[in-house]
Structures are given as C-alpha cells and as structure tokens.
Structure 1
Amino acid sequence: MTRLPRLVLAAALSAALPGLALAGPVTASGAWVRATPPGAMAAGGFLTLHNPGPGDDRLVGARSPAAARVELHGMEMSGGVMRMHPLAEGLPLPAGATVALAPGGAHIMMMDLAAPVVVGAPVPVTLILDSGAEIAVQMQVVPPGAPKPAEAQ
C-alpha cells in the first residue's frame, strides 16, 4: 500500500472513530556522519528516532545512493574488545519512545561507498520501518573524529 492510500485510510478512520488514537509517524532528527578519508569503504551514520504513537515499530533497514550496502549495526564489549555486529532483527522503536543511534552503539553502516564522504555534501539515506513507512534524511557531514554536531543535539 502506498503512502497516500494509508493517509486517506487514517483520515477516514479518524473521522469515523473519533475516540480511536492512531499512531503518529516515526520521525528522525539530528542525522549526521563523519567524513571519510580517500579510499575508505565504510562510514557510520547516526540520528535520533522518535515514535510518538501508541504502537511499537522497528527500524528494519536503510538504503543510500552513497553506498552499495547499508546495514543496521550494534556495538558490544566482548573479551574487553568493542565489536560491531549486524542487527538482524532491526532496531525496536517502542511506542512513545526516543531511540538514539550514536557512536559506540546502534548505527547505520554504509559499506562499499560510491565516493568519499566529504564535509559540505550531505549524505541522503532512506530509513525503512517495519510498518512500511520510509523516512528520507540528509545526514550532515562533520570532519573525521569530530563529535556529534551541535545541530544534532
């Protein structure tokens, strides 16, 4: 079902059943990625997701023209070493919650980059939710090693 019929259905249900609380759409904010050196083949993207509705959702994937592959990854300590691993089941977005993807934790891993990620050239990414919704974001690019930009607070 495309986005327009879903919106029409939601509007019709709201009018017919005024007491029914329909879930609001998941939103994304503060999307950013660090610039990569020439020849780098991967970059990690970070952002905050907000699920204001009463129903759970899940981030299940992403895509970007900047990379041949985009995966959801997590980080965990194992034997005193921080290790990255794919989030095969996606990332839960509980009802009413805010979930941060941040360095050292869950993140969007862009692999087989088409070109280096450079400051001044935002990286487009489309987030894919289990509900079928898609969220287009422009990831702000910060210099290598830079902390989260102030605008992404």
Structure 2
Amino acid sequence: MSLSKTLFAAIAAVSFAGPIWAGSITVEDAYARASTMGAVSGAAFMEIHNAAEVEDRLVAVRSDVAQRVELHTHISDANGVMQMVEVEEGFAIPAGGVHALARGGDHVMFMGLNRPLVQGEMIELTLTFEQAGEVVVQVPVDLNRKPDHALMLQKSGQN
C-alpha cells in the first residue's frame, strides 16, 4: 500500500472512530477485524456507554457484511477450553455505565463474510437496544489493532 493510501486509511479510521451518540447510548472505540486473510468470519469490538438512569440491553445486531451477525461471548468448558457461543439474550448495559465488547470476551460475530474486511474500510452495523432502539454505527476495519487491546480493557475494569 502506498504511503498516501496508508495515511488516508489512518485518518479515516481516526475520524470515524470517535463517539457516536443515540439518546442515552454512546458507542466509542469501535473497530472490526477479520481473523485471517481470506477469512469467512470476523468480529467487531467497541465500548457501549449508557448515560440513562436505567439499564438498557443490546439485544441484536445486523450488517450486510456477513450472512449471519450475532452477539457472542467466550466461555470456558469443563476442561478449561475456551469456546465462542451466541448470547441470545444480549448484553446488559448498566445505567450510567459501560459494557466493553472486547477480544476474548463479548463481541459482535460475523459469520459467512460476504466480502473481505479490508484495512481502512468502513462497515455499517445496526445495534438494537431494548430502550434506546436502533443505533447505526460506522465501524472502521482495523487489522493492525494490537492483540492485547482486550487485556487493557479488562485490566481497567471496563469489561
């Protein structure tokens, strides 16, 4: 990739990575990744802030980037092996609090990608909340995000 394309991708990612407000819900630090080149699956991560005085719940997500888009988490089985599972009831977003969708924890899962997730591109997600309704988020694809991002969020108490 040329220097100008790399610079444009970096500026675009920073420009669109800012907070997105919808009533009491704010989405920050959103990004998406494919697991590998030519992958058929990928994931999106973000921080969801709820400024309301009542709990809300992220109950669904959709996007045209994949055949199926689900809310997932990681759980440990009886042998200590981590597995990804769908969370059909969604994720609680506490009143006046934050819920982090981070690597190694809760996340948006793309299964059956309709196209590659390309560095610097934007994908659109529609998040559906019980109270706040639908929130449309433009999410930058960031294939260079450091793998320890989830650990930093967990250590800071945001997960």
**Percent identity, aligned pairs only?**
40
Superposition RMSD in Å: 1.9
Q: Give the ranges of 4+ consecutive aligned residues of structure 1 lying more than 3 Å apart after TM superposition.
A: 35-39, 144-148
| 1:71 equivalent in structure 2 | 70
In the alignment, the residues of structure 1 paired with residue 145 and residue 81 of structure 2 have an alpha-carbon distance, to the nearest angstrom, of 20
How many aligned residue pairs are there? 126
Shift of the alpha carbon at 1:41?
1.3
- Please, what TM-score do these two structures have when normalized by structure 2? 0.72
Unaligned 5+ segments in structure 2 are 1-22, 150-159
Q: Is the 8 A contact 1:27 1:135 kept in 2?
A: no
Give the aligned partner of residue 126 of structure 2.
Answer: 126
Q: Residue by residue, what CA displacement relative to the aligned partner does 1:20-73 show, whole Å, maximum 9, x if unpaired?
A: xxxx52111111012454432110110000011101110001011111211000
Corresponding residue for 1:116?
Answer: 116
Equivalent-residue separation in structure 2 for 1:81 and 1:34 (angstroms) = 23
1:89-108 paired onto structure 2 within 5 Å:
89-108=89-108
Q: Given that residues 36 and 144 in structure 1 are in contact (C-alpha distance below 8 angstroms), is that contact kept between their aligned partners in structure 2?
A: no
Where do 5+ consecutive residues of structure 1 fail to align?
1-23, 149-153
Report the residue type matching 1:28 in the other structure.
V
Matched-pair contact (CA < 8 Å) for 2:34–2:41: no
Shift of 1:144: 5.9
